[in-house]
């Protein structure tokens, strides 16, 4: 009681970030600019692989927001991947260009997430996970009933006739890059907001967050909607990059496996984790692609090992060693007499 | 073929005990999220392992058995296969056995005690890890029996477990009510009837069942039998 009323002397400094935030911000800008320039200097095969990677990165970041922050383990995020793809297909069939349809598909998927949340939020943890899976299966079955959008076999995506293949692959790549940048930027700003504070509190201790008056239910609803929109955008990019929408492919549970494993291996509960996880995932996929099912077996084993022995993933290990944050979303508490300094956090502050 | 359960069920039960005592207990000690990740990872590893070693081909194990294909007539309109009747009888027998085991045996009491409050049970001298292992062995053995029944009555491939059976099983449990043995039987029957009736409208066996599942989730989230509201 008395400790709280006493003035702190000397005062403790609180800062949003370490000084390196400017440098990482500049670095991120340069990376995005270089990535945006790539279609002029590399073959479309390379940008094709990068499009896959950007889709996985978007999805993994969304899954990280769900599982890593809001504590919602969804095994049914493929529902939104599929919905995003089908939104693009339906709009394209009505003469709207797929690139223009992309943001509409994202918003549409987010809107659909609202009633779905109403259904699945009645269940907890494991039951929630499987319920989202059943929902995804049900949505696929319902969509398969409409033969006007291809029924059970799907159909090619119209709207790109007369476009040169190189131009098409460049457009696809830029669309994927834009979706990823908006997703990551959105998550970054979201986590820096008041909602982010609530989410970080839920991540660290749900009971304590509730008893401190955090509106856990509302925060989870918002995260579910944002993740629905993000995965919908990922699905829309998928449809544009494949030029074909097939229900069993876009609604495959494999999407959730990929996004979950990339997020888990990289490190849940940080923005940096899914980025590292996606890079590792793409490297594994490219090297093991000729061994069929092996890469998913290895990915599953690595995810199990990480979940058991390195719970904060690869980024967690980096963070423990160096104490750096590329995306500062928390607060740093500096003990008296110490100033924020050092690129690699020479003096590590108390993290809040 | 039919008698393979004499080997398969004990082996699976033993596997369940070992998995529970090692991997799953290790995950449980670290929290719900870890448990979900580890079990989801396991399912991916097993599914793709089967895919790698047994290919994606559809297979069946009942071929050539008269019991699997034969049926008897009930009146002039209705044909009933022997196999579904036997599977239903086995399901009821297994449920009776589980009910008796949980309510009357020493380990059954321990399982209920640990499920209610594992810390209190531990303080009273129960080794909750061993009890979890026994419960997992029971679950794996029962699932093995279910898997054998499915294999006899239907074709299957490596993804059959996660694509359909897991989701059906989950839907049956939610329809019946969580934590109720006989509710699960009722849920299974309701799901099966919904699938059969749904076939008339949707031309597939799955949609009708899921719609009933969603309806139960909306109208009666605690399930058909359970009186308690779910938390």
Decide if A142 touches B, using CB distance below 8 A.
Answer: yes
- Minimal CA–CA distance to B171: which of B137, B146, B206? B206
Range of the domain at A63: 17-330
- Asked if A87 and A236 touch (Cβ cutoff 8 Å), the reply is yes
3-class DSSP state of A280? helix
State the DSSP code for A15. E
Strand-pairing partners, residue B59, are B156
First to last CA, chain A: 21
Contacts of A130 in chain B (CB under 8 A): 166-167, 170
- Asked if A265 and A277 touch (Cβ cutoff 8 Å), the reply is yes
Contacts of B213 in chain A (CB under 8 A): 134
Question: What Rg, from alpha-carbon coordinates, does chain A have?
Answer: 21
Q: How many domains is chain A partitioned into structurally?
A: 1
- Asked if A177 and A58 touch (Cβ cutoff 8 Å), the reply is no
Residue contact B38–A304, C-beta within 8 A:
yes
Structure token digits, residue B153 = 């009555």
* Interface predicted TM-score (ipTM) of this complex, two decimals: 0.84
Q: What are the start-end ranges of the E strands in chain A?
A: 13-15, 155-156, 244-245, 332-334, 350-351
Q: What is the pTM of this model?
A: 0.85
Whether residue A346 is contained in a domain is answered as no
CA angle B52, B54, B60 (to 5 degrees): 150
Residue contact A307–B38, C-beta within 8 A:
yes
Q: Domain boundaries in chain B? A: 2-156, 159-231
| pLDDT attached to residue A342 | 41
Residues 6+ apart with CB under 8 A from A172: A47, A51, A237, A240, A241
Cα A91 to Cα A239: distance, rounded to the nearest angstrom: 12
Structure token digits, residue A149 = 């959008």
Contacts of B35 in chain A (CB under 8 A): 126
Whether residue A149 is contained in a domain is answered as yes
DSSP letters spanning B137-184: HHHHHHHHHHHHHHHHHS-B-TTHIIIIIHHHHHHHHHHH-TT-HHHH
Residue contact B231–A124, C-beta within 8 A:
yes
What's the full length of chain A, in residues? 352
Contacts of B53 in chain A (CB under 8 A): none
Decide if A70 touches B, using CB distance below 8 A.
Answer: no
CB atoms within 10 A of CB B66: 7
Q: Which helix (H) or strand (E) holds A92?
A: helix A78-93
State the DSSP code for B230. P
Cα A255 to Cα A56: distance, rounded to the nearest angstrom: 8
Contacts of A129 in chain B (CB under 8 A): 36, 40
> A48-104, pLDDT tens digit by residue?
899 999 999 999 999 999 998 988 989 999 999 999 999 999 999 998 888 899 999
CA distances from A344 to A24, A99, A318 (A): 12, 41, 11
| pLDDT attached to residue A310 | 85
- Minimal CA–CA distance to A253: which of A119, A113, A59, A117? A59
Cα B231 to Cα B229: distance, rounded to the nearest angstrom: 6
Whether residue A352 is contained in a domain is answered as no
pLDDT at A14 over 80: no
Q: Which of A119, A292, A303 is opposite residue B37, by nearest beta carbon?
A: A303
Task: Find which of B22, B31, B36 to mutate to test the A interface (most A CBs within 10 Å of its CB).
Answer: B36
With b meaning 16 or more CB within 10 Å and e meaning fewer, what string describes A143-162? Answer: bbeeeebbeeebeebebbee
Q: Which of A122, A133, A301 is opposite residue B167, by nearest beta carbon?
A: A133
Task: Find which of B35, B41, B221 to mutate to test the A interface (most A CBs within 10 Å of its CB).
Answer: B41
| A-B Cβ pairs (cutoff 8 Å, strict) | 113
Residues 6+ apart with CB under 8 A from A300: A257, A261, B41, B42, B44, B45, B48
Whether residue A188 is contained in a domain is answered as yes
Residues 6+ apart with CB under 8 A from A199: A65, A69, A70, A190, A191, A219, A223
Enumerate residues 288 to 347 of chain A having a beta carbon within 8 A of any beta carbon in chain B: 292-294, 296-297, 299-301, 303-304, 307-308, 311
- Asked if B126 and B19 touch (Cβ cutoff 8 Å), the reply is no
Residue contact B44–A142, C-beta within 8 A:
no
Whether residue A340 is contained in a domain is answered as no
Q: Mean pLDDT highest for which of A49-63, A164-178, A296-310?
A: A49-63
| pLDDT attached to residue B231 | 39
Whether residue A349 is contained in a domain is answered as no
Q: What's the rounded mean pLDDT across residues A285-313? A: 85
Percent above pLDDT 70 for chain A: 86
- Asked if A342 and A19 touch (Cβ cutoff 8 Å), the reply is yes
pLDDT values of chain B reduced to their tens digit, one per residue, 231 residues: 667 788 999 999 999 999 999 999 999 888 878 888 898 899 989 999 999 898 889 888 866 677 777 888 888 888 888 888 989 999 999 999 999 999 899 989 998 888 888 888 888 888 888 999 999 999 999 999 999 888 888 889 998 888 788 889 888 988 988 778 888 899 999 999 999 998 888 878 788 888 898 888 888 877 888 655 443
Confidence band for A241, pLDDT divided at 50, 70 and 90 = very high
Residue contact A73–B42, C-beta within 8 A:
no
Q: What are the start-end ranges of the E strands in B35-169?
A: 71-74, 78-81
What is the chain A residue with the closest CA to B162? A253
In this structure, the strands spanning A244-245 and A155-156 are antiparallel
Whether residue A350 is contained in a domain is answered as no
Percent above pLDDT 90 for chain A: 38
We report the CATH number of the domain holding residue A71 as: 1.10.3470
Residue contact A308–B48, C-beta within 8 A:
no
Q: How far is A296 from chain B, CA to nearest CA, in Å?
A: 7
Decide if A31 touches B, using CB distance below 8 A.
Answer: no
pLDDT at A340 over 70: no
Q: Mean pLDDT highest for which of A118-132, A258-272, A282-296?
A: A258-272
Structure token digits, residue A31 = 């990376």
Contacts of A292 in chain B (CB under 8 A): 51-52
């Amino acid at each position: 009681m008395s400790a709280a009323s006493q003035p702190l002397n000397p005062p403790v400094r609180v800062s949003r970030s370490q000084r390196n935030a400017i440098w990482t911000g500049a670095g991120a800008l340069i990376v995005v600019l270089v990535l945006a320039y790539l279609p002029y200097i590399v073959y479309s095969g390379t940008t094709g692989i990068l499009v896959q990677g950007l889709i996985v990165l978007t999805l993994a970041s969304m899954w990280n927001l769900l599982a890593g922050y809001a504590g919602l383990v969804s095994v049914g995020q493929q529902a939104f991947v599929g919905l995003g793809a089908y939104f693009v297909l339906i709009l394209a069939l009505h003469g709207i260009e797929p690139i223009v349809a992309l943001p509409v598909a994202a918003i549409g998927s987010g809107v659909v997430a609202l009633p779905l949340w109403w259904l699945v939020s009645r269940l907890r943890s494991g039951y929630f996970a499987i319920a989202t899976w059943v929902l995804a299966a049900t949505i696929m079955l319902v969509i398969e009933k409409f033969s006007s959008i291809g029924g059970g076999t799907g159909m090619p995506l119209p709207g790109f006739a007369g476009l040169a293949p190189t131009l098409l692959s460049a457009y696809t790549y830029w669309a994927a890059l834009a979706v990823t940048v908006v997703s990551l930027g959105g998550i970054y700003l979201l986590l820096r907001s008041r909602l982010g504070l609530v989410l970080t509190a839920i991540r660290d201790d749900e009971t304590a967050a509730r008893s401190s008056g955090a509106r856990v239910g509302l925060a989870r609803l918002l995260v579910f909607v944002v993740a629905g929109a993000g995965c919908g955008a990922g699905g829309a990019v998928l449809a544009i990059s494949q030029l074909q929408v097939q229900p069993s492919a876009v609604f495959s549970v494999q999407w959730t496996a990929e996004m979950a494993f990339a997020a888990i291996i990289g490190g849940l509960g940080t923005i940096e984790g899914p980025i590292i996880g996606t890079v590792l995932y793409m490297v594994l996929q490219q090297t093991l692609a000729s061994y069929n099912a092996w890469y998913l077996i290895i990915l599953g084993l690595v995810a199990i090992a990480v979940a058991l022995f390195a719970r904060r993933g690869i980024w967690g290990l980096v963070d423990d060693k160096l104490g750096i944050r590329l995306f500062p979303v928390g607060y740093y508490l500096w003990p008296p007499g110490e100033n924020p300094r050092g690129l690699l956090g020479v003096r590590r502050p108390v993290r809040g | 073929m039919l008698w393979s359960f004499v080997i398969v069920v004990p082996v699976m039960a033993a596997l369940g005990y070992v998995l529970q005592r090692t991997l799953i207990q290790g995950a449980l000690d670290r929290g719900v999220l870890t448990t979900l990740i580890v079990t989801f990872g396991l399912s991916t590893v097993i599914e793709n392992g089967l895919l790698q070693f047994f290919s994606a081909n559809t297979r069946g194990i009942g071929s050539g058995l008269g019991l699997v294909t034969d049926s008897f007539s009930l009146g002039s309109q209705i044909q009933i296969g022997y196999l579904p009747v036997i599977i239903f009888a086995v399901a009821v027998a297994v449920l009776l056995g589980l009910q008796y085991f949980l309510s009357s045996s020493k380990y059954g009491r321990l399982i209920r005690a640990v499920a209610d409050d594992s810390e209190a049970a531990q303080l009273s001298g129960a080794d909750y890890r061993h009890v979890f292992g026994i419960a997992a062995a029971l679950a794996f053995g029962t699932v093995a029996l279910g898997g054998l029944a499915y294999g006899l009555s239907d074709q299957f491939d490596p993804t059959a477990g996660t694509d359909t059976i897991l989701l059906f099983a989950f839907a049956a449990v939610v329809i019946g009510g969580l934590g109720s043995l006989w509710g699960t039987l009722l849920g299974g029957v309701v799901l099966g009837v919904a699938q059969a009736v749904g076939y008339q409208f949707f031309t597939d066996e799955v949609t009708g069942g899921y719609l009933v599942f969603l309806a139960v989730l909306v109208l009666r989230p605690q399930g058909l039998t359970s009186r308690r509201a779910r938390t």
